[in-house]
Amino acid sequence: MKMTMPPKEQKRLFVSLASLTIVAILLCLVYVIGTKSLDSYDPIVSSDSSVADAADASIAKADKQEMPEAPVSANNVSENTAQVTDTLSSNTVSDTATDVTEEPAPSAMPDRVTYAEGFYYESLSETVKERINGKSYKPDCIIPYEDLRYLSVLYCDFDGNTQTGEIICNKAIAQDLIEIFCELYQNEYQIDKIRLIDEYDADDDLSCADNNTSCFNYRTVAGSNNLSNHAKGRAIDINPFQNPYVTYPNGTVRISPPGSEPYADRSSGLKHMITEDDLCYKLFREHGFTWGGHWKSLKDYQHFEKKE
């Protein structure tokens, strides 16, 4: 048959076979190149995930994982564009830097949300749970750990110096607080101290006497058996010495903490008092909090809360 095929047919068959061979060679080349580029990519992926597995190796790394959420969840994006942009750009840098920093860093929880540089919140780490267990987190606490968040914030102290503060709050107000404290810091609003109340053995009187700003503490309302909104992590006390707790038992006036009596006169104009013209007051109100300074039966000028 083949031998009898006319020359024209033979030529056509040859061309077809040659074309098929070329296509086959090209397919092989594409496959080889594809495999090689995958091979060269693979080590980057595995080294990257090994860094992530190291968990606490780098805060920047963990921050990066959560960063896309920050600008999305931020309500006042326009006012905080600078922060978000800053964080995003520094994030890009950490993204390209594959090496882990040498210095030890605190463990970053996988759900950490970084709002701006120096401002983040996350679930409670085992270390934080150990710090609060038996203190602000009492054995009979009905609030699960999962409902609480640990915040790290920057603030200006009474000397105008930048300090790092720690707050534990309900997860429902974590985003509110991080935005409020970021804006307070941007505006150099002065706060004396922001420490976990556990550093005072969860004793509210000691914390207030030391003018400490704090939020979560599983306790009842002073002088009653009702759970305070602090117990749910939904209330925060700011500069309690300059913003005392004033009650009127049996027609008398009781002012707490001791020594804060001059601040019970809200017309005195003394420094660090929260008034309706105050930035702190305005921010908390904007975020849907109520202020203890508006209460009728007693005055709790340090206190802001956001109920369920």
For residue 133, the cross-strand partners are 137
Closer CB to Zn ion, residue 183 or residue 237?
237
Q: Among residues 84, 211, 237, 263, which is the contact residue for Zn ion, using CB under 5 A?
A: 237
Stretch that binds Zn ion, among 1-9, 50-58, 124-132, 297-305 (CB under 5 A): 297-305
For residue 303, the cross-strand partners are 237
Element of type H or E holding 254: strand 254-256
Closer CB to Zn ion, residue 34 or residue 223?
223
Backbone torsion region of residue 90, taken as left when φ is above 0, otherwise alpha when ψ lies between -120 and 50, otherwise beta? alpha
Closer CB to Zn ion, residue 303 or residue 306?
303
Stretch that binds Zn ion, among 150-158, 183-191, 213-221, 234-242 (CB under 5 A): 234-242
Distance CA 55, CA 68 (A): 19
Residues making up the chain, counted from first to last: 308
Closer CB to Zn ion, residue 22 or residue 222?
222
Write the CB contacts of 103 (distance below 8 Å, at least 6 apart in sequence). none
What is the rounded end-to-end Cα distance, in angstroms, of the chain? 91
Question: Min. distance of Cβ 222 from Zn ion in angstroms?
Answer: 9
Interface with Zn ion includes 303 (CB under 5 A)? yes
Closer CB to Zn ion, residue 112 or residue 303?
303
Question: Min. distance of Cβ 307 from Zn ion in angstroms?
Answer: 13
Burial of 135 (0-12, 13-18, 19+ CB in 10 A): middle
Question: Min. distance of Cβ 178 from Zn ion in angstroms?
Answer: 19
Residue with smallest beta-carbon separation from Zn ion: 303
Q: Are 111 and 70 in contact (CB under 8 A)?
A: no
Biggest distance spanned by C-alpha atoms of the chain: 126
Residue linked to tokens 């020594």: 259
Stretch that binds Zn ion, among 2-10, 32-40, 122-130, 228-236 (CB under 5 A): 228-236
Interface with Zn ion includes 204 (CB under 5 A)? no
Closer CB to Zn ion, residue 108 or residue 235?
235
Question: Min. distance of Cβ 85 from Zn ion in angstroms?
Answer: 35
Q: Summarize the chain as % helix, strand, coil (round to 5).
A: 40, 15, 40
Calculate the CA 44 to chain-centre distance. 29
Size of the site for Zn ion (CB under 5 A): 3
Question: Min. distance of Cβ 217 from Zn ion in angstroms?
Answer: 9
Stretch that binds Zn ion, among 98-106, 114-122, 139-147, 298-306 (CB under 5 A): 298-306
Question: Min. distance of Cβ 300 from Zn ion in angstroms?
Answer: 6
User: Given the rule CB under 5 A, which residues bind Zn ion?
Assistant: 235, 237, 303
